[in-house]
Amino acid sequence: MSFFDTAYEGSPPWDLGRPQGAIVRLAEAGRIVGSVLDVGCGTGEHALYLASRGHEVVGVDLARRALERAGSKARARGLEVTFLLHDALRVDGLGRTFETAIDVGLFHTLADEDRPVYARALRGALVPGGRCLLLCWSERNPWGYGPRRVTQMELLGTFERGWRVDGIEDEELEGDLGTAHAWLATFVHE
């Protein structure tokens, strides 16, 4: 059983039972458009929120337990969302493309060697001009615990080929243990 399958046996600290404030702000500002791919969707709060706003959403994750919870939430809320057990490093193999991809807390869990594979897969899953909105832990977190920290240079180095950087902004990631410093990066598929 993977770390994430085990984490979803209970209530992991990143699973708030609601979308991150950053995703709500992005949606309200019109920065999330068209069909949406939620990569590393977990229990589906972001996918469900965006579906409630009228987006067609597909959520992918490798944690079966999280996907079961996401499906139950969708049924309980009467929302249409497709949740798939699928590897984030292979989202270009979904057989379709999207206008927007969101990554809330997945990138900082990837091994260094998987990061360029992930960027290529995301590019293949987006239409030309499609946007990837990525929210990850930043190196500015002073705590001695938590996920890997990511620098702006690491983001830029990963998304350099076939992408245009639309911005990297200071943001926050909320969790049961408090609010963490994060980067909100916007990359456009060229």
Query: Cα separations (Å) of 145 from 11, 108, 123, 168?
Result: 18, 13, 32, 24
Range of the domain at 140: 3-8+20-189
Angstrom distance (rounded) from CA 147 to CA 149: 6
Q: How many domains does the chain have?
A: 1
Angstrom distance (rounded) from CA 114 to CA 41: 18
Q: Does residue 41 form part of some domain? A: yes
Q: Count helices and strands (H / E) in the chain.
A: 6, 7
Angstrom distance (rounded) from CA 159 to CA 3: 26
Residue-level length of the chain: 190
DSSP β-ladder status, 82-85 and 57-61: parallel
CATH of the domain at 106: 3.40.50.150
Q: Does residue 15 form part of some domain? A: no
For residue 6, the model assigns a pLDDT of 74
Q: Does residue 14 form part of some domain? A: no
For residue 13, the model assigns a pLDDT of 64
Q: Which of 117, 120, 127 is nearest to 37 (CA)?
A: 127
Angstrom distance (rounded) from CA 186 to CA 184: 7
Q: Does residue 185 form part of some domain? A: yes
37-46 pLDDT, tens per residue?
Answer: 999 999 999 9
Q: What single DSSP character describes residue 150?
A: B
Q: Does residue 13 form part of some domain? A: no
Q: Which of 157, 158, 159, 155 is nearest to 171 (CA)?
A: 155
- 3-state secondary structure (DSSP) of residue 40: coil
Q: Which residues of the chain have pLDDT under 70?
A: 1, 5, 7-8, 10, 13, 145-146
Query: Cα separations (Å) of 149 from 9, 66, 146, 173?
Result: 25, 24, 9, 12
Q: Does residue 131 form part of some domain? A: yes
The overall average pLDDT reported for the chain is 93
Q: What single DSSP character describes residue 78?
A: T
Q: Which of 119, 110, 142 is nearest to 4 (CA)?
A: 110
- 3-state secondary structure (DSSP) of residue 33: coil
